[in-house]
A and B are shown apart, each in its own frame.
Chain A
Amino acid sequence: MSEEKPIIVLENVCKYFGNFKALTDVNLTVQKGARIVVCGPSGSGKSTMIRCINRLEEHDSGRIIVAGNELTDAVKNIDAVRREVGMVFQSFNLFPHLKVVDNLTLALKLVRKVGKPEAREIATRYLERVHIPDQADKYPSQLSGGQQQRVAIARALCMNPEVMLFDEPTSALDPEMISEVLDVMTELAEEGMTMICVTHEMGFARSVADQIAFMDAGEIVEIAPPSEFFQNPRSERTKLFLSQILSH
């Protein structure tokens, strides 16, 4: 890796929900252009970790620095971080009452103060990029799950983020729609987008990731390049997880 400053740094991050410790001393360094896949059993803290990165959850101790901004209570820093970080959710989370194009332009207009014609132009460009330019004037409910998730990806991309976070983007999809979303994500990776992606699509992880992180019980147990991760997992927990997930 280069001398360049990492775009995301997590240092000894801990997070509690009441008395329950959801993250324990999580350390993670993400260089620009890195593609990190996060996997692990349900409830292991994957969502919590990436939601801390854009402050949808507040961490209780440790440090999180994104593009040079440390996440604290300072609203200014939170806004700065959210400008750099796009997020895609498992359940799409589109704005149901707005047409596809308005889903894409809302934040452009409100946050970036882009004028209406220009916002529409940007939206069209990103809809083309996710291969659904002809759905601009439909409502989300009129689209298939795969199309909705691609709208969600386009919506995040419109803001021109440095990093994209994906939280199980294909888990809510019917099997036949998974590949259309993974294809878009692979294209993004090829274009050099920095991404952290929680997923159990091991084929995608193998071909796209340069690091795979395995989480269990709120800890990053192991992080390694795909070849090493799949062939020589160091921890017993990783082995067990891999045997379960690859057996079917």
Chain B
Amino acid sequence: MIFEFGLIFGSIPKMLTGLGLTLQLLLLSSFIGLVLAVITLLMRISGRWFLVAPAVVYIYIFRGTPILVQIFVIYYGLPQFEFIREGVFWPFLREPFWCCILALSLNAGAYVSEILRGGVLGVDKGAQEAASALGISKTQSFIYITTPIAIRLSLPAYSNDIISMTKATALASTVTLLDMTGVARTIVAQTFAPYEIFISAAIIYMVIAWMVQKGFGMLERRMSRYIKATR
């Protein structure tokens, strides 16, 4: 097999035309996913069964099924329903872009809410008792004590999740979107050089993952000042 290194690097600029869409998918669904995660978390720890139950079912479904299947169900499955096609969300749901955003966000919401829950459960009970003893209310204690500590505890797992999401955005290419993987597939169809093209796509994904990891690493160090600090 002959490897054309020229082709690997030569196709990177073309690949970058899909970068914008990849990043849009990543950033938008991370953000919506985070909002969903926080709502789900609050439901999950509310202690009220009618809030806990839907949260648990939601998490169970989205953690238990492949994202690819979720994308297919949303993109091919939902339009089968009359009321969806007549509904207000149809202008969105008929767009593959928004179907992917929906699937990725719901997925992130389920995973991240579990990550955040781990963080909340990891917060030392002593600090919360001290707050109660000082007359600080449960809500205030959650905002000013539990939340900042839980965020720091959740960061490493959260950063992993964002990296998984980066790679999951590639599934968008299966529903006709020209994200980076979509672009790569198009180029492969034209050049018949799958190895070089996909390797160059892989390189770009790696760079993104590396940047995400570095960024979160910095954030984590900043937020851990109070632990690492030496005398």
Name A residues whose Cβ lies closer than 8 Å to a Cβ of B.
54, 56, 79, 82-83, 85-87, 89, 91-98, 106-107, 110-111, 138-143, 152, 155-156, 159
Hey, which chain A residues are within 8 Å of B152, CB to CB?
97
B143-181 interface (Cβ within 8 A of A): 144-145, 148-149, 152
Hey, which chain A residues are within 8 Å of B132, CB to CB?
56, 82
Hey, which chain A residues are within 8 Å of B225, CB to CB?
139
A95→B135 contact, CB < 8 A: no
Whether B78 sits at the interface, judged by CB under 8 Å, is: no
Report if A93-B127 is in contact (Cβ < 8 Å); known contacts: A110-B144, A139-B226: yes
B174-231 interface (Cβ within 8 A of A): 225-227, 229-231
Contact of A82 among B124, B135, B145, B227 (CB under 8 A): B135
Which applies to chain B's interface (DSSP): helix, strand, loop or mixed?
helix
Hey, which chain B residues are within 8 Å of A139, CB to CB?
225-226, 229
Q: Which residue of A lies closest to B225 (CB)?
A: A139
Separation of A107 and B227 alpha carbons in the complex (Å)? 22
Question: Which 8 A/B pairs are nearest by Cβ-Cβ distance?
Answer: A93-B126, A107-B134, A93-B130, A139-B226, A82-B135, A87-B133, A111-B135, A142-B229
Q: List 12 A-B contacts (CB under 8 A).
A: A56-B132, A94-B127, A95-B130, A97-B149, A106-B136, A110-B136, A110-B140, A139-B226, A141-B227, A141-B229, A142-B229, A155-B134
Q: Which residue of A lies closest to B144 (CB)?
A: A106
B145→A95 contact, CB < 8 A: yes
Whether B129 sits at the interface, judged by CB under 8 Å, is: yes
Best-surrounded residue of B126, B130, B152, B226 (most CB of chain A within 10 A) = B130
Report if A97-B148 is in contact (Cβ < 8 Å); known contacts: A139-B229, A141-B226, A141-B227: yes
B85-140 interface (Cβ within 8 A of A): 124, 126-127, 129-137, 140
Hey, which chain B residues are within 8 Å of A143, CB to CB?
231
Separation of A159 and B130 alpha carbons in the complex (Å)? 13
Hey, which chain A residues are within 8 Å of B231, CB to CB?
142-143
Q: Which residue of A lies closest to B230 (CB)?
A: A142
A95→B127 contact, CB < 8 A: yes
Q: Which residue of A lies closest to B228 (CB)?
A: A141
A89→B129 contact, CB < 8 A: yes
Hey, which chain B residues are within 8 Å of A79, CB to CB?
135
Separation of A107 and B127 alpha carbons in the complex (Å)? 13
Q: Which residue of B lies closest to A111 (CB)?
A: B135
Contact of B126 among A82, A91, A106, A141 (CB under 8 A): A91
Contact of B135 among A92, A94, A107, A140 (CB under 8 A): A107
B133→A82 contact, CB < 8 A: yes
Hey, which chain A residues are within 8 Å of B130, CB to CB?
87, 89, 93-95, 152, 155
Separation of A138 and B231 alpha carbons in the complex (Å)? 9
Contact of B127 among A83, A85, A96, A141 (CB under 8 A): A96
CB distance from A86 to the nearest CB of B (A): 7
B23-48 interface (Cβ within 8 A of A): none
Report if A156-B134 is in contact (Cβ < 8 Å); known contacts: A96-B127, A97-B149: yes
B229→A111 contact, CB < 8 A: no
Contact of A96 among B134, B137, B144, B149 (CB under 8 A): B149
